[in-house]
Amino acid sequence: MMRDSEREVIRTLALFKEIADVEFERLIEGAFLQRFPMHVVLINEGEHPDFLHVVVEGTVELFARYEARETTIEILQPVTTFILAAIVRDDVYLKSARTLAPSRILMIPAANVREIFGRDPVFARAVVDELAIRYRRLVRTLKDQKLRTGVERLANWILEADRQQGGSGRIALPYEKRTLSALLGMTPENLSRTLASLSAHGISGNGREIVISDRGALVSCARPDPLIDGPE
């Protein structure tokens, strides 16, 4: 099901790093690594969880629908697990998931997760850490959403993206702009305009690239806050 190299990568995840080999082997027994094309729905909100998912390669978007509307909750890059909370609670998904790029997803049977969790305190500790991190990330997202304007959200997203990409000041958009707009809680049209308006605040760039030409100006526009934009 998995090459050794892949197994090693997954092993380095905080969620699995500390557990004993025996437990790890038991955990991924019956797991399988599957390749998916772009724009494939992996999970539908409302369904029941059978597997813990791990993005091994590619990009996964967590999104949600209501009536005819749709919004992005989070975008996951390798290597990350998702829908852990639904498995722990053994309750329906609150979010859907789809690939934004050709991806490889590891699917670990939910029963395994619960079994190891119930028996291995080390793994239990890791699950708690993971959930707490996720919780705090979501708090940051909600603050970002409720306390900032569209311009501020975008400006801070750019700063964060730059940081993640090495801080060179040249950012390659990791996904489509329509996706980014949904993530930031605005329409594609509005993102377009907002981005254009930031050219007066230290931003230039075209197409799939954004360039920070005047970081000071951008920062004074974004006013980043460690309690919203922090790394974790």
Residues of this chain that bind its own copies (CB under 8 A): 45-46, 64-67, 69-71, 73, 84-86, 88-89, 91-92, 94-95, 117-118, 121, 124-125, 127-129, 131-136, 138-143, 145-148, 185, 223, 225-228, 232
Which has the closest alpha carbon to 72: 81, 61, 59, 80?
A: 61
β-strand 209-212 against 203-204: which pairing, if any? Answer: antiparallel
88 interacts with, out of its own copies, DNA, none, CB within 5 to 8 A per kind = its own copies
Q: Which of residues 79-118 bind DNA (CB under 7 A)?
A: none
The two three-digit tokens of residue 131, written as one number: 């959930």
By CB under 7 A, tell whether 196 contacts DNA: yes
Check: CB of residue 6 under 8 Å from CB of residue 26: no
User: Which of 22-30, 126-134, 144-152, 158-166 is the region at the interface with DNA (rule: CB under 7 A)?
Assistant: 144-152
By CB under 7 A, tell whether 185 contacts DNA: yes
Give exposure, 193-206, as e/b (b: 16+ Cβ within 10 Å): ebbeebeebbbebe
Instruction: For DNA, give the closer residue by CB, 13 or 40.
Output: 40
